[in-house]
Amino acid sequence: MAVPREIVERVKKLREEINYHNYRYYVLDSPVISDAEYDALMRELKELEEKYPELITPDSPTQRVGFAPAEEFRQVPHSVPMLSLDDAFTEEEVLEFDRRLKRFLNLPEDEEIDYTCEPKIDGLAVDLVYENGLFTVGSTRGDGYVGEDVTNNLKTIKSIPLRLLSLDGVPIPRRLDVRGEVYMDKDRFRELNRQRLEQGEPPFANPRNAAAGSLRQLDPNVTARRPLDIFCYGVGLVEGYTFRSQWEILTTLPKWGFRVNPHVRLVKGIRAAIEYHREMDRLRERLPYEIDGVVIKVNDLELQERLGTKARSPRWALAFKFEPTQATTQVLDIIVSVGRTGAVTPVAILKPVKVGGVIVSRATLHNEDEVRRKDVRVGDWVLVQRAGDVIPEIVSVIKERRTGQERPFQMPRHCPICGSKLVRKPGEAIWRCPNKNCYAQLVRSVIHFASKGAMDIEGLGEKVAKLLVDMGLVRDVADIYQLKEEDLEQLPGFARKKAQNLIRAIEKSKETTLARFIYALGIRHVGEVTAQILAEHFKSLDRLMEARLEDLLSIEGIGPEVATSIVEYFRDKHNRERIRRLLEAGIHFKEAEKKPQEKPLAGMTFVFTGALSSMTREEAKRRVQELGGRVGSSVSRQVDYVVVGERPGSKYERARRLGVRTISEEEFLKLIGQA
C-alpha cells in the first residue's frame, strides 16, 4: 500500500525542521524553540514512522543521537556508544515501559523488577577515559559514536579526578570509561547570563545550553572561567573490573573520586519508581541545579544485556520527564506596574501559553534596564519560563523570528497608578514614581478593601495583594473584579484550586452591605462605625455621593474633618470612576434600598440657636433625624426652619436677614408632635 503523498511530505518537513533544531541545540547551543515544542515534533515524526515503517531511513532524526561533532574539535570515537533515552511524560507510559520489559524478558506480570532511580540532570553528557588510573581523554557525546575532544576543558572542572582514588581499597581498573553529565548551577547560570547581557552578548536559553556552550570552547581558558560541575552516573568500556548492577556502579564511582548525585535510589518495582518521580518533582525547585526528569534504569546488568539497545536508545532505561518549565510565545503588549521601591516595572502581556502545567499570559520584565538588555519588543517571540514558585519571566528573545514589525518598548511618562510624573535620577536607568507612598498605598488599599470588615474576600491578604500589584493585574481595587482564574493560576503559589477559591471569594463578595462597601472604599477618617452611620443615614450610595458638607455635618457623630474628607473623596473623578466600575462589576447591597419613608420632616433642614428648655440640643437633633429631617450648623437660604431658644446667638440675626423662617421651641415641639 502506497503511503499518502501528504504523509511523505509531512515526514520530510518534520525531519528538516528537527535537523535544523538539532543543529541550533547541539552545535550552536542556542535553540530557537522550547524543548517541549521540540519533543512534540519528535513525537509526531515517531508516530508517523510507526504507522508507516517503510518511511524509516537510517538518517532519520528518530534513529540518531545528537549531532555530528563540530569540525573545530578533534574527533574521539566512543568504545561503547553514548545513546539517548526514550522518554515518558505520563505514569501510564511508565507502566507500559515496565510491562514491555516483562514481555521481552518473559517475566510474570506481577514480578517486581529492581530499578535504579536517578535525577535526570539537565546538562550535557561526557565520556571520561582513564587508563591505568589516569585521565587521558574526555569527549562530548557528539552523534553517539564519535564525540568532540574536550579533554583540556574538562580538566578545568575541579570535581573530575585527574587520577583515580582507591577508597576502601577498591582496585583501579586498567581501563575505565566514566559517563557523566556536565552542568551549571541555576544561580551561576543566571549570573553568567546577566554578565553576557551586560556585555551585549546573547544570553543562554537555559543552564543546559550554558553548560554545553561553556564546555565546547576551543580555548580551555574560557571554560575555566565558567562555573561547571559534573555528576557521574554510568560507565562505558571497563577492563579489569566487573560490575553486576547499576547500583554497584553508582556506589563504586565515588570510591574512585567521582561525584554521584546524592538523590540516587535503588527501588523495587515500577510503582516505587513512579513515587520517586513524584518526590523529585516536589524537590526539584529547591535543588541548586536543573533537572528535567528522572531516569529509571533496570538495575541488573545481565538483564540490561538481554534487553539490549535500539537505534538511538537502550531498552532498559527510561527518562520520565517533568512538566516542561519553558515555552515560546509572542509578546502582545508591554504594560507597567509600580514596584515596592517605586521602580516602574514593565510586565509583558503574552499570547497565553502552557508552561509548567498552567497557562501563562504575563511575565515580569523586572525593570526598564532589563527590557533594554534583553531587547524585548512588542510582537517578539520569546522564551518564557515558569519554574515553581517564581513569577513567570522572559528568558530571551528569539531574534531569528523577528519580522521587522516589532515595536520597541516606550516607558510611559506618568505613573499608571497615581498619575505622578515619573522621574529618573541621573546615572540611573530606572524610572520611578516620585510618590513615595504610591506602591505601599495601593497595596494597603487592596488589603483594606478585601479585609474582613470590608468586602471580606477570603484569601486576598498581603502576599496576594502584592503579587497582584507586582504583575500589574491590579492597579486599582476595581480591577479585583476583572480577575480571571487564568490570571491567578500563573502566579507563584497558586495551584488551580487556590485560584478557583479566590475567584469564588471575589464573586461572593459582590453581595455586601452599603456600610461594608463605604468602609471598603478606604475614605480617610471613615472607619467601620462611621461607615455604619453613613449607611444608616443616607441609605443609598447615590445620596451619600451627593451629600453636601452641611448635610454631613448635621449627622451626629460626623465632625468637620470627617465630613470634609467624605466630600473630597466623592468629588474626585477617579474615585467616582472606581465606584462606577465596582457597581458595574455587579456589587450590590443586601438591604433593599428603602425609599425614604414618608417621614414628616423628610427633606427639611433645621438649625438651632439658643438653649431649649424641654430637651437638650442633642435630643432635639436626634428627633429631627428620626423624623427624616436634617440638622445643619449654619444658616443659609437652604435651611427650612431656625429654631429659636433662650438667648439666641448670631444665627437668629442671620436667619432674619436671609428671610429664613424662625420658630419658637413650642412651635418646634408641635412640629415634631410632642406638644
Ligand X SMILES: NC(=O)c1ccc[n+]([C@@H]2O[C@H](COP(=O)([O-])OP(=O)(O)OC[C@H]3O[C@@H](n4cnc5c(N)ncnc54)[C@H](O)[C@@H]3O)[C@@H](O)[C@H]2O)c1
Least Å distance, CB 295 to ligand X, is 4
For the range 423-426, what are the long-range contacts, defined as Cβ-Cβ under 8 Å and sequence gap of 24 or more?
Answer: none
Question: Which of the ranges 173-181, 416-424, 515-523, 537-545 carries the binding residues for Zn ion, by CB under 5 A?
Answer: 416-424
Assess whether 590 carries a catalytic annotation.
no
The distance of closest approach from Cβ of residue 372 to ligand X in the complex, given in angstroms and rounded to an integer, is 26
Is 438 annotated to bind a ligand? Reply is yes
Pairwise CA distance, residues 102 & 113, whole Å: 9
Helix then strand count (H, E) for the chain reads 24, 24
- Quick one: DSSP state of residue 289? S
Q: How many residues bind Zn ion (CB under 5 A)?
A: 7
Number of residues that bind ligand X (CB under 6 A): 24
Would you call 306 exposed, middle or buried from its count of C-beta atoms within 10 A (0-12, 13-18, 19+)? middle
Q: How far is Cα 498 from Cα 446, in angstroms, rounded to an integer?
A: 18
Q: Which is nearer to ligand X, 24 or 362 (CB)?
A: 24
Query: Could you tell me which residues come within 8 angstroms of residue 522 by beta carbon, excluding any fewer than 6 positions away?
Result: 445, 448, 449
Which residues are paired to 408 by β-bridges?
A: 377
Q: Is 285 annotated as a binding residue?
A: no
Rule CB under 6 A: say whether 14 interacts with ligand X. no
User: What span, in angstroms and rounded, lies between the C-alpha atoms of 74 and 69?
Assistant: 9
Give the residue with the Cβ less far from ligand X, 253 or 464: 253
Q: Is 21 in the site for ligand X (CB under 6 A)?
A: yes
Q: Residue by residue, what is the 3-state secondary structure of 532-555? A: HHHHHHHCCHHHHHHCCHHHHHCC
Instruction: Give the whole-angstrom CA distance, residue 536 versus residue 520.
Output: 16
24 binds ligand X (CB under 6 A): yes
Residue 60 contact, options ligand X, Zn ion, none, Cβ 5-8 Å cut-off depending on partner type: none
Q: Three cell numbers at 428?
A: 540611573
The reply to whether 315 sits near ligand X by the rule CB under 6 A is no
Partner in contact with 494, chosen from ligand X, Zn ion, none, beta carbon below 5 to 8 Å by kind: none
Nearer to Zn ion, 61 or 472 (CB): 472
Q: Is 29 in the site for ligand X (CB under 6 A)?
A: no
Torsion of CA 385, 31, 195, 406, to 10 degrees: -80
**664 labeled part of a ligand binding site:** no
Residue 35 as a binder of ligand X (CB under 6 A): the answer is yes
Q: Is 565 annotated as a binding residue?
A: no
Among 15, 29, 30, 31, binds ligand X (CB under 6 A): 31
**N-terminal to C-terminal alpha carbon distance within the chain:** 110
Q: Among all chains, which residue has been given the C-alpha cell 573520586?
A: 257
- Give dist(CA 251, CA 266) in Å, integer: 11
90 grid coordinates: 505520563
Annotated catalytic residue within 120, 374, 466, 621: 120
Name which of 295 and 474 has its Cβ closer to ligand X: 295
511 φ, ψ (degrees, to nearest 5): -90, 115
Stretch touching ligand X by CB under 6 A, among 22-30, 102-110, 395-403, 654-662: 22-30
**Cα–Cα dist 624/218, whole Å:** 94
In the list 39, 96, 281, 667, the residue contacting ligand X (rule: CB under 6 A) is 39
Residue with Cβ nearer ligand X (86 or 458): 86
- The verdict on 417 binding Zn ion (CB under 5 A) reads yes
Residue 177 engages ligand X in binding (rule: CB under 6 A)? no
22 is an interface residue for ligand X by CB under 6 A? yes
Q: Is 514 annotated as a binding residue?
A: no
Q: Is 383 in the site for Zn ion (CB under 5 A)?
A: no
35 is in an annotated binding site: yes
Pick 120 or 277: Cβ nearer ligand X:
120
Decide if residue 438 touches Zn ion (CB under 5 A). Answer: yes
Using rule CB under 6 A, residue 329 touches ligand X: no
Is 612 known to sit in a ligand binding site? no
Residue type, 623: R
CA distance linking residue 508 with residue 459, whole number of Å: 12
Scanning 572-632, the segments in alpha helix (DSSP H) are 573-584, 617-626
Measured in whole angstroms, the distance separating CA 202 from the mean position of its chain's CA atoms is 24
Q: Does the annotation list 542 as a binding residue?
A: no
117 is in an annotated binding site: no
Integer Cα distance of 338 and 442 in angstroms: 9
Residue 182's binding partner, choosing from Zn ion, ligand X, none, with beta-carbon cut-off 5 to 8 A by kind?
Answer: none
39 is in an annotated binding site: yes
* Residues 70-129 contacting ligand X, CB under 6 A: 84-85, 87, 118, 120-121, 124-125
Distance CA 140, CA 22 (A): 15
Q: Does 49 bind ligand X (CB under 6 A)?
A: no
Report the C-alpha gap between 306 and 317 in whole angstroms: 13
Regarding 246 and contact with ligand X (CB under 6 A), the answer is no
Among the listed ranges 33-41, 274-282, 403-411, 434-442, the one in contact with Zn ion (CB under 5 A) is: 434-442
User: Taking CB within 5 to 8 Å according to partner kind, which of ligand X, Zn ion, none is near residue 639?
Assistant: none
- 435's contact among Zn ion, ligand X, none, with CB below 5 to 8 A by partner kind, is Zn ion
369 annotated binding-site participant: no
Residue 241 marked ligand-binding: no
115 binds, among ligand X, Zn ion, none (CB under 5 to 8 A by kind): none
Question: CB of residue 286 vs ligand X: minimum separation in angstroms?
Answer: 18
* Cβ 102 vs Cβ 122: under 8 Å: no
Q: CA 671: distance to chain centroid?
A: 67
- Candidates 415, 502, 520, 655; binder of Zn ion (CB under 5 A) is 415
Q: Please report where in the chains the cell 570515537 appears, as a residue.
A: 77
Residue 417 binding result from Zn ion, ligand X, none, given CB thresholds of 5 to 8 Å by partner type: Zn ion
Q: Is 325 in the site for ligand X (CB under 6 A)?
A: no
Cell numbers 535553540 label which residue?
A: 31
Q: Which does 382 bind (CB under 5 to 8 A by kind): Zn ion, ligand X, none?
A: none
Cβ atoms of residues 392 and 386 within 8 Å? yes
Amino acid identity of residue 614, one-letter, is S
Of these partners, ligand X, Zn ion, none, which one is at the site of residue 295 (CB under 5 to 8 Å by kind)? Answer: ligand X
Rounded Cα gap, residues 120 and 176, in angstroms: 22
Residue 440 binds to Zn ion (criterion: CB under 5 A) = no
Please report the DSSP string for 145-172 in residue order.
Answer: SEEEB-HHHHTT-TTS-SB---GGGPPP
CA 497 to each of CA 165, 417, 493, 503: distance values in angstroms, whole numbers, following the listed order: 52, 30, 11, 10
Q: Which stretch binds Zn ion (CB under 5 A): 157-165, 258-266, 412-420, 564-572?
A: 412-420
Closest Cα partner for 146 from 86, 219, 220, 82? 82
**Positions in the binding site for ligand X (CB under 6 A):** 21-22, 24-25, 31, 33-35, 38-39, 65, 84-85, 87, 118, 120-121, 124-125, 141, 181, 233, 295, 319
Name the binding residues for Zn(2+): 415, 418, 438
**Positions in the binding site for Zn ion (CB under 5 A):** 415, 417-418, 420, 433, 435, 438
Residues assigned a catalytic role: 120
Name the binding residues for NAD(+): 35-39, 84-85, 118, 141, 181, 297, 321
Name the binding residues: 35-39, 84-85, 118, 141, 181, 297, 321, 415, 418, 438
